[in-house]
Each structure stands twice: as structure tokens, then as C-alpha cells.
Amino acid sequence: MQMKVCHVITGLKVGGAELALCGLLETLRKPDNTVVVLREQGVLSERVAGLAPLQHLGMNPGRATPGDVLRLRRTLRRDQPDVVHAWMYHANLLTSLAMTGLRIPLIWGIHHSLSDLASEKRRTRAVIRANALLSRSPTRIRYVSALAADQHRHFGFSGRRALVIPNGYDTDRLKPDADARTRIRHELGIAPDTLAIGMVARVHPTKDHGNFLEAAARFLPRHPDTAFVLVGEGASADNRPLLDSIERLGLRGHVRLCGRREDIPALDAAFDIATLSSRGEAFPNAVAEAMACAVPCVATDVGDAALIIGDTGVVVPPRDARALADGWSRLARLPASERRALGARARRRIIECFARETIAHRFSDLYHELVNTSCEDPSG
């Protein structure tokens, strides 16, 4: 009989964990997968529905009631999965409560670091603390980075159940694209020979857009023919504080605000340098995705950014705009042919180390291991 895995995820907006689930479902057609979403429908719901049976419970995970937990429990008992795989803090917490007494292997998924915990909402911090208290309930806790695993262990999470499986990337979708580069640069009003430095990140204190803009202000006098491209939720013309910062730093006319976009591979292909200005990450997808598109990166030394980049880009300290600008300058000074060669090495690194087929097989092995161990251990 085919193994059945039920994935429980907080929501299906566009985010790192949500996209990672989509990638896993697209790659790993066996075992049979079902998906339970705690929230209402999201941007990715239609995509997921085309990959696996999907149910939305329509709850508010931050204000979940005992009735919500019971509904999730009834759903899991009805589906009778062999393994339950929870994604993100809220889903971890509610799934553990719902599975009390059920003898089914449970995997928690943790996709965040704790490097900038103070910037999280108070309710999110409370959920993380609750996760720590219940961290002996899952069979395994999957982290996307070794740093995140170590941080959570020091925070009080069970260390015995931890394992690290990084995110995987679809290098057939994420690839160099000369046509997309031309189209996007024309759309954004960026000339073919203008240096384009881009960052894909929602506007959030952890992403530290202030650091990016301060670095841009330092960089521009040395490299006046530069366009800075910001992509992600909140990086749009209706974000008044962001616009005020751009104006204050004298960057108006040099910054392109794209907001949330679905065509990230095309945008990455339009960059000459991709960057990350964050002060906290676990396994920064934006860096790996840009590298897969053959774009060299300059990233702050957060999470596993240095591990991802290796010797194909530049890593600088977080919260240091001067260092970030200097990192951009190191790549900007290279002849265009050398930057392209560096980008090609970056793409090879993603293919060799983080291709999604390789990562999907690691999950398949984990699911089979847990089911076989559960069958061999009648005590559960």
C-alpha cells in the first residue's frame, strides 16, 4: 500500500516555507500527499490544489480555540496518514495538540532563525515559546539550517529530535534567461549597460531595508549609473516610510519598487548583482534563487548565507551599510565577463548542492524511516 503523508501548514501566502512545500509536492509524487491549511485560501492555494487533495480549515491560528484543535484532530483521524509533516510554528503547535494520543509519526518544520527575535510580533514570540515547551512531542524537528537548529536548541527546543534538511530549488525554472532580462529591464526603465542591484524580500525589520538603502546611498557616488531594484510585499509606491527613506537619502530616480511579484526568475535574470541586507535569516531562499539564475550575490552573514554562496560571491557583516556597499563595489569593479563567469559558478553550486530532486529524496527517506521505525516499535 502506498504511504500517505499529510502536510499541515499555517497558510498558503507566498513565502519561503509555502514555496518549499509546493516544490516538494511537485517533485515528490510518491508517497501520496494531502495538505491541510489552517487559514483560509491563499495565493498558492490553486497551485497546491493541482498537486494534492487540499483542505482549508479557515481558522485564525493566532487565536485558535479548542474547537479548532478538535477540527484538526478529526481531519487527521479521518485521513489516517502514515506521517504528518507540519510546516511553521503555528502549524507545529496546533498539530501537536491535535495529535495528542495519536500514534502517528510527526515532523515539525522550522524555517526561521532566532537572530532577530525582538522584531517578531509578540504573539509570534509566544508561539515560539510554546513550540519550545512542546518540542518533545514531534518525532523529528526539521530545520532548514544548522544555525537555526543550534539557536532553537539554546532557546529550549529538544536537540535529540533535530535534523537539518536545506531547501531545494527547481533549476529548470530558475535559470538564466536573456529574453526575460531584456523584457524586465525595459519594463523598469533600466538601460542594457546600467548596473542593476536587486533584492527580493518583503519589507520587514528583519530584512533591514534601511541597511540596503544606506548602502545604496554610499555606493551611488562611486557608481552613479546604477539602478536598485526592490521586490517583495511592501516594496511598493504606497509604502510611505520606505518612500521617505528613499527621498531622504537622495535615491529617487535610482530605486525601482516592484512590490510582490510572481515572476521572480525573470526579475532575478535582470539583475547584475543580487543582494541580501537582512539581520536575521535561516536559509535565505532569495540568495539561492538568484544564484540558480546565474547572478552573483552579496549577502549579509546571516543564517546559512555563507554556506549557500561559498566562493561564488561576497559575504559581509549584518547591520553594516558600509560593508554592504563595499561588497557591491567588489563585484561592480569586475569586468562584465568575469561577473557572468562568477554567476555561472553560482548556478553550478546550486545544481550540485541544493537541487530540489536531491532534497526531495532526503524527505522521502525520512518518511520511510519514520514509518518503518513506528511499525517496528509497538510502544510508539
Q: What is the per-residue pLDDT across 288-301, written as a single tens digit (0 to 9) for each?
A: 999 999 999 999 99
Selected residue with higher pLDDT from 1 and 9? 9
- CA distances, 79 to each of 72, 254, 269 (Å): 11, 53, 42
Q: Average pLDDT of 355-376?
A: 90
> Which has the higher per-residue pLDDT, 374 or 254?
254
Q: Is the pLDDT of residue 174 over 90?
A: yes
Q: Which has the closest alpha carbon to 81: 196, 3, 185?
A: 3
Which of 109-123, 129-143, 164-178, 183-197 is predicted least confidently?
109-123
Among the listed residues 30, 74, 77, the one whose alpha carbon sits nearest the alpha carbon of residue 52: 30
pLDDT over 90 (residue 163)? yes
Averaged pLDDT, 197-212: 96
| pLDDT reading at 145 higher than 70 | yes
Strand order in the sheet with 4-9: 54-56, 32-37, 4-9, 83-87, 106-110, 140-143, 162-164
pLDDT band at 282 (very low <50, low <70, confident <90, very high): confident
Band (pLDDT 50/70/90 cuts) for residue 379 is very low
Query: How does pLDDT run across 18-31, given as a tens digit for each residue?
Result: 999 999 999 987 77
pLDDT above 90 as % of the chain? 89
Average pLDDT over residues 181-207: 97
Given a cut of 80, whether residue 150 has pLDDT beyond it is yes
Read off the pLDDT of each residue in 209-230 and give the average, rounded to a whole number. Answer: 98
pLDDT for 213? 98
Helix (H) or strand (E) holding 258: strand 255-259
Q: Report the pLDDT value the prediction gives residue 14, as an integer from 0 to 100.
A: 83
The Cα 116–Cα 218 span in angstroms is 25
Please give the pLDDT value at position 1.
57
Average pLDDT for the chain? 94
Identify the burial level of 161 via C-beta atoms within 10 angstroms of its C-beta, where 0-12 means exposed, 13-18 middle and 19 or more buried.
middle
User: Would you state the pLDDT for residue 118?
Assistant: 84
Average pLDDT score over residue span 169-191: 97
Domains in the chain, please, with CATH?
Answer: 4-168+356-376 (3.40.50.2000), 178-354 (3.40.50.2000)
Cα separations in angstroms, 90 against 9, 60, 125, 203, 245 = 8, 10, 11, 21, 33
Give 295's strand partners: none
Residue 375 pLDDT grade (very low, low, confident, very high; cuts 50, 70, 90): low
pLDDT at 116: 83
* H or E, element range at 180: helix 178-188
Please write the tens of the pLDDT for every residue from 28-78: 877 799 999 999 999 999 999 999 999 999 999 889 999 999 999 999 999
